[in-house]
Amino acid sequence: MANSWTSGGLELHLDLDPGLGRRVALERALREAIRSGRLTAGAQLPSSRALAQDLGLARGTVVQAYEQLLAEGYLLSTSRTSTEVAPVPGTPPSPPEPGKQRGQALHNLEPGTPDVSGFPRTQWASALRHAVATVPDEDLRYGDPRGHPALRRALAAYLARVRGVRVSEQQLIICSGFAQGLGLVSGALRAQGASTMAVENYGLRFHYEIVEGTGLRLLPVPMDADGLVVEQLPAADGVLVTPSHQMPSGTTLHPARRTALVEWARERGALVIEDDYDGEFRYDRQPIGAVQGLAPEQVVYAGTASKSLAPAIRLAWLAVPHRLVEPIVAARKLAERHCPTFDQVALAHLLDSGGLDRHLRRMRAHYRKRRDLLLDALRERVPQVRPTGIAAGLHVTLLLPEQGPDQREVARILAARGVATHPLSFYSRQPMAEQGLVIGYATPAGHAFQPAVRALVDGLSSVYD
C-alpha cells in the first residue's frame, strides 16, 4: 500500500508492505524513511490522529508504531502532543568537528564489529595463496551448494572440538554471513508451513527484519539475568536465540534453561536457531558448549567469521538437522549457488593449520585487556553505571541509574561529544523500563581505543557527577 501524507506541512511517501501487519508495516516504512534520510532529525511528525486519517489506519495503530520508534530511539517526544525525528542512534546530532561526515563518530563504540586492525592479513594472504596454488582445476567449476568439502570437513572437526557441536560435514552449509543463513533457515521453515518465530527481546532488529521478510511473524519473548525466559515461550514454530552471550544484554542462558529450551522444541516439533556469533570469546571461565550438542535434530547451530576474523570475510556456517538439509540446500542453490571457492578453501587452511586458533588466542588476550581497561575506567570515574554481560564477547551493556536522564538522552549527550554508542532501546520491539547503553569495545582500531574510553567516561561523568 503506497501512501503519502502532507499533514503539518511535511510531505512524505510511505510504502506500507501489504504482506505485513499494519503496525509493523508502518514502523518499517518510518524506519526506512528515517534511515534513508528522507525524514531528517528534527522533522515534526503529524499527530497520530492526522496520520491515521491520511493513511486510512486506526489511530491506535499509529500510536503503537510511534511508541515503538520512540523506544528504539528513532523518534523523540518533544511535548505531550508533539513527536519529531531523532538523530539516528549513535550518530552525533551535529558534527563536532568541521568536515566530519554524518554517521562517522570520532569515537566509535557501537557494537557489531571486531577490532579490524587486528585482522591477520599475513596469515590470510598466505592461506589464500595456498588455496589458489592447490585447488584442483575441477573445483573451479560450479561446486556443491553446501560449500566446499574441504571447509565443511575442517569446520565439522573445529566445531566439535571448540564448541561441542555434533555435526557431519553433510549437514554443514556454508553461507554468506549469518544474515544470509538466517534468511535461508526462516525461508525453509516458512515454505514448510511455519508461521511464527519467537525471538529474544532484546535482539538485533536487522535480524528481526530478515525473519519477518520471509513472512514469519515475530513473537518477542522476555529475558532476565539468566537469559531467555524459556517458560514464557509461546506456541511458535521456531526460536532465535544467542545462548552463549546474549546480544545485546550479554547474559548466558542458564544450564536448566538450555535443557528446557530443547525440551520445548522437541515437544512442539519446533526449531531452535542458535546464533553463536561470538562464542569463541569468553574470558572468565571455560567456554560453554553449544546448545546444539544437546539436541542436534532440534537445533540449527550458526557460526560466523564476522567476529573471529572480520565481517568483510562474509563466511558463516549452519549445522542443520537432517530434515532441513535438503530444503535449505535447495534455497542456497537459488541464492548465489555457493560462496567463493578460494575464500572457502583459504578458511579451511586457516582452520587445519591451527592459524585460526593462534589468531583467536591473540585476540582473546587483546579483547580481555580492553575489557579490563574499560571496566577499570568506569569503576573509577562513573561507579553509578553498572556493566553487565562482561564475561564474554566484544561488548558490554551499561545499566544506567534510574535517577537521571534516560538512555536516549545519555546516548545523545555522548554523541554530541563524538562518542557513538547504542541505547539499549535500540534492540527492543517493546518499551522497556530498563535503561542502558551498549558499548562495543572491540570497534575502535588499536590507537583509537584509549581515547575512546576516555571520551566515554568523560561524557558519562558529565552526566552523573
The single residue among 85, 204, 325, 439 that binds ligand PLP, judged by CB under 6 A, is 204
Distance in Å, CB of 242 to ligand PLP, minimum: 5
Q: How far apart are CA 361 and CA 261, in angstroms?
A: 31
Nearest to 153 by CA among 347, 348, 366, 312: 348
C-alpha cell at 436: 542502558
Comparing CB distances to ligand PLP, the nearer of 204 and 223 is 204
User: What is the enclosing helix (H) or strand (E) of 263?
Assistant: helix 255-268
C-alpha cell at 326: 535438503
Find where cell 511458535 sits: 236
Distance in Å, CB of 188 to ligand PLP, minimum: 17
Q: Which residues of 322-338 are buried (b: 16+ CB within 10 A; e: fewer)?
A: eebbebbbebbeeeeeb
Report yes or no: 324 and 188 within 8 Å, Cβ to Cβ. Answer: yes
Q: How far apart are CA 448 and CA 117, in angstroms?
A: 10
Comparing CB distances to ligand PLP, the nearer of 112 and 296 is 112
Q: How far apart are CA 114 and CA 446, in angstroms?
A: 11
Name which of residues 410 to 429 contact ligand PLP (CB under 6 A): none
User: Residue 213 interacts with ligand PLP (CB under 6 A)?
Assistant: no
Comparing CB distances to ligand PLP, the nearer of 230 and 339 is 339
Write phi, then psi, for 220 (nearest 5 degrees): -65, 135
SS3 of 349, please? helix
Report yes or no: 210 and 179 within 8 Å, Cβ to Cβ. Answer: yes
Distance in Å, CB of 316 to ligand PLP, minimum: 4
User: Residue 277 interacts with ligand PLP (CB under 6 A)?
Assistant: yes
Distance in Å, CB of 181 to ligand PLP, minimum: 7
> How many residues of this chain interact with ligand PLP, rule: CB under 6 A?
13
Q: Binding segment for ligand PLP among 34-42, 130-138, 292-300, 303-311 (CB under 6 A)?
A: 303-311
Name which of residues 97 to 116 contact ligand PLP (CB under 6 A): 112
The single residue among 48, 186, 304, 308 that binds ligand PLP, judged by CB under 6 A, is 304
Residue 162, CA atoms < 13 Å, CB-side half-sphere: 20
**Pattern 242-271, ligand PLP, x by CB under 6 A:** x----x------------------------
Distance in Å, CB of 90 to ligand PLP, minimum: 14
Q: Is the sign of the CA dihedral 315, 155, 174, 283 positive or negative?
A: negative
Comparing CB distances to ligand PLP, the nearer of 61 and 249 is 249
**Pattern 310-349, ligand PLP, x by CB under 6 A:** -x----x---------------------------------
* Position closest to ligand PLP via CB: 177
| Gyration radius of the chain over CA positions | 23
Comparing CB distances to ligand PLP, the nearer of 332 and 381 is 332
Residues 6+ apart with CB under 8 A from 161: none
Distance in Å, CB of 199 to ligand PLP, minimum: 11
Distance in Å, CB of 145 to ligand PLP, minimum: 18
Q: Which residues of 407-417 are buried (b: 16+ CB within 10 A; e: fewer)?
A: bbebbbebbeb
Name which of residues 167 to 186 contact ligand PLP (CB under 6 A): 177-179
**Interacting residue ranges for ligand PLP, rule: CB under 6 A:** 112, 177-179, 204, 242, 247, 275, 277, 304, 306, 311, 316
